[in-house]
Amino acid sequence: MVQEPRVSIILLNWNTWSDTIECLESLNLISYPEYDIVIVDNGSKDDSITRISRYLDNSSWILKGESVMADIPMRSFEAQIEEGRGGPGPKNSVRRCQVLLAPINRGFTGGNNIAMRYAMEKLTPDYVLLLNNDTEVAADFLKELVKAMEEHRDCGFASPMILDMAVDTAARRTNIIQYAGASQSLYLFIPVHRRQSEIDDGKEVQPSFTGYAHGTCMLVRAQVIRDIGMLDEDFFCYREENDWGLRGKRNGWKALFVPTSKVWHKGGKSSGQVKGMALYYMARNSILIVKKDANPFEKAVFALSFAAFSFPYRVLKLMLLKRDIESTKVFVKGVRDGLKWKGAAQ
**Each residue's pLDDT tens digit, 250-270:** 999 999 999 999 999 997 555
Whole-number Å distance between alpha carbons of 271 and 279: 10
H/E stretch holding 62: strand 62-69
More confident residue, 90 or 185: 185
Would the pLDDT of 1 be above 50?
Answer: yes
Whole-number Å distance between alpha carbons of 92 and 200: 37
Q: Can you give the pLDDT at residue 320? A: 80
> Residues 342-346: what's their mean pLDDT?
56
Would the pLDDT of 240 be above 70?
Answer: yes
Mean of the per-residue pLDDT values of the chain: 91
- CA gyration radius, the chain: 20
**pLDDT tens-place string over residues 327-336:** 999 999 999 9
> Residues 285-305: what's their mean pLDDT?
96
Whole-number Å distance between alpha carbons of 171 and 296: 49
Would the pLDDT of 249 be above 80?
Answer: yes
Q: How confident is the model at residue 273 (pLDDT cuts 50, 70, 90)?
A: low
pTM: 0.92
Q: Can you give the pLDDT at residue 102? A: 94
**pLDDT tens-place string over residues 181-214:** 999 999 989 899 999 999 999 999 999 999 999 9
> Residues 76-82: what's their mean pLDDT?
81
**What percent of the chain stands above pLDDT 90?**
80
Q: Can you give the pLDDT at residue 221? A: 98
Report residue 337: phi and psi, to 5°: -70, -35
Q: Are 327 and 318 in contact (CB under 8 A)?
A: yes
Q: How confident is the model at residue 85 (pLDDT cuts 50, 70, 90)?
A: very low
Q: Can you give the pLDDT at residue 31? A: 94
Q: Can you give the pLDDT at residue 60? A: 84
**pLDDT tens-place string over residues 6-55:** 999 999 999 999 999 999 999 999 999 999 999 999 999 999 999 999 99
Within 10 angstroms of residue 314's Cβ, the number of other Cβ atoms is 18
**pLDDT tens-place string over residues 137-172:** 999 999 999 999 999 999 999 999 999 998 776 668
Whole-number Å distance between alpha carbons of 346 and 340: 15
Q: Are 93 and 81 in contact (CB under 8 A)?
A: yes
Q: How confident is the model at residue 84 (pLDDT cuts 50, 70, 90)?
A: very low
